Amino acid sequence: MTDIKCKLLIIGAGPGGYVCAIRAGQLGIDTVVIDEGKPGGTCLNVGCIPSKALIHAADEFHKIKHASDGPLGISVDAPSIDLAKTIAWKDGLVQRLNTGVAGLMKKAKARFVSGRARFLDGKTVQVKNDDDTYSIRAEHIVVATGSAPVELPFLPFGGPVLSSTEALNLTDIPKSIAVVGGGYIGLELGTVFAKLGTKVTIVEAEDRILPLYDKALTGPVAKRLDDLDVTVMAGVRAQGYENGKLKTDQGDIAAEKVLVTVGRRPRTIGIGIDELALTLDGPFIKIDKTCQTSMRGIYAIGDVTGEPMLAHRAMAQGEMVAEHIAGLSVEWDKNAIPAVCFTDPEVVTCGALPDEVEGSKTSEFPFQANGRAMTTEREDGFIRVVWRESDHAVLGIQAVGAGISEMSAAFSLAIEMGARLEDIGSTIHAHPTQSEGLQEACLRALGHALHI
């Protein structure tokens, strides 16, 4: 292949990279996207999408399996699941989305190039694809290489020790699995296997699961794990795996498989970032309010720029960078980014946390007082509003509850639009829905909740 010249080169076709490419193409920017994998990146291929597919399958199986135990009068005899067939369905969804993303980039006239990229200088990237090597020179370059699972030196990936990628491709249900790391990835996948019938043990070095969230939010998740017969060992450190047992500082745990989910690291090794001497923020690439790095003409978006490592954050950054390169007056605003744990029940946070802003107060509404929650047999959880006492501005919203992720857009919209308690409280919410909990939390803050 001959050398290529373009105005914008994007390294990485994950959520940030492909959205940046689509928006740049819409704005008439000559754009090339390079990735050694399929379009969609970690999120589409081995992360967000496949994990949610398996979460759904496990939920459905667990509901059917235990339907006879509930009060609804449903009787079911000996249901079973063919995990290999489930994985094939999941893979089919991923393939459809791969094709869709590739089609969207082509429609926007952004060229996709398969290969591995490495910086030669601040304007030139070398590409290797099998035996073919060539260069791409661009006026602007966006680093969107994403992240990879952190590997522990005493628990290297391979054989029975799995990263989230391998766990999402198991075709047989393990009898037992030890999950090292009680963050959102470990809990999501641990819950999947527990619902499929695996004996799950979660080992977390901190004193509780989901340590980045407050205890009120994580309490319903911990209770649900207990209901699912998941053993949670907090304040315990893994030390290795030998002879079918996970070694910890508090004894051995029998486990057919070990799933390591202790975090993710930015993918910067091997692409020549060190040779450019870009300013870093710890292991991450430091950026300004327009996602520019310390070198003019080079941008970075998504997981390589640090927390929160969220696909929709990367998408928003990619769109903004394309518009900035096109000459539009835009900058990065991260005040209203929702974060979702797809645990059971789900957890959503957006904006300010309790006590984070001086002069703020909180108000909660429990789903035990919500008619819709009662009719779905899921009364666990609540919606909490963080608001400023001086003007009643809504600064943050947190919630835990079944299916609460679908309300995350309402939470971020309220904060982004500068809503006050009175705005949400006076908005008519459909009945019966869980969304009434948001209205009721605001009414409670104003001193006149209707259903509690």
DSSP secondary structure, 111-149, as one string: EEEESEEEESSSSEEEEEETTEEEEEEEEEEEE---EEE
pLDDT digits (tens, 9 = 90+) for 390-437: 999 999 999 999 999 999 999 999 999 999 999 999 999 999 999 999
For residue 275, pLDDT over 90 is answered with: no
8 A C-beta contact, residue 21 and residue 13 = yes
Q: What share of the chain is helix, strand, coil (3-state, %, to 5)?
A: 35, 25, 40
pLDDT score at 185? 97
pLDDT score at 93? 97
Residue appearing with tokens 């998740």? 221
For residue 331, pLDDT over 90 is answered with: no
The structure's pTM equals 0.95
pLDDT score at 332? 78
Q: What positions carry a catalytic annotation?
A: 431
pLDDT digits (tens, 9 = 90+) for 135-191: 999 999 999 999 999 999 999 999 999 999 999 999 999 999 999 999 999 999 999
Spatial neighbors of 175 by CB under 8 A, at least 6 apart, are 198, 199, 256
State which amino acid sits at residue 141.
I
Pairing of strands 298-300, 132-143: parallel
Beta strand extents in 4-50 (DSSP E only): 4-11, 31-35
Domains of the chain: 4-149+265-325 (3.50.50.60), 161-262 (3.50.50.60), 339-445 (3.30.390.30)
As to burial, measured by CB atoms within 10 angstroms (0-12 exposed, 13-18 middle, 19+ buried), residue 402 is buried
Element (H, E) at 218: helix 215-227
Least confidently predicted of 248-252, 270-274, 364-368: 270-274
The SS3 of residue 340 is: strand
- CA–CA separation, 85 vs 60, rounded Å? 15
State which amino acid sits at residue 28.
G
Residue appearing with tokens 């370059």? 141
- CA–CA separation, 25 vs 110, rounded Å? 6
8 A C-beta contact, residue 105 and residue 22 = yes
* pLDDT, mean over the chain: 96
